[in-house]
């Protein structure tokens, strides 16, 4: 008799468990549509963010190229200025030597 009661109790518990899980797992078409809409929106936002990131990377690379070109120009200007300063110093030394030479005469 105990086996029959336990068997029936197990059957009732099994039916109750199936009933609860099947009731919780039903999804209405409206809910599914809302989830699909949110997923589509998220994917669209992700594509836009990736596009914006690619554009930002392109702009950063252009800025790096411009900065490199400016650095090269600045280096060339520095070299020219140093060459001019060297020439100026050499001319100053020559003038001083000529002045000293004329003062000795």
Taking only the tens place, the pLDDT of each residue in 62-96 is 999 999 999 999 999 999 999 999 999 999 999 99
Backbone angles phi, psi at 28, to 5 degrees: -80, 155
Task: Judge if pTM exceeds 0.85.
Answer: no
Q: How far apart are CA 16 and CA 58, in angstroms?
A: 61
| Residue position matching structure tokens 């949110």 | 38
């Amino acid at each position: 008799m105990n086996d029959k009661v336990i068997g029936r109790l197990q059957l009732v518990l099994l039916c109750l468990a199936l009933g609860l899980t099947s009731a919780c797992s039903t999804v209405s078409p409206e809910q599914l549509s809302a989830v699909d809409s949110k997923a589509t929106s998220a994917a669209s936002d992700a594509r836009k963010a990736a596009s914006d990131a690619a554009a930002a990377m392109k702009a950063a690379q252009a800025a790096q190229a411009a900065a490199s070109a400016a650095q090269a120009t600045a280096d060339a200007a520095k070299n020219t200025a140093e060459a001019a300063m060297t020439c100026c110093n050499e001319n100053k030394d020559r003038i001083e030597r000529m002045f000293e030479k004329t003062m000795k005469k």
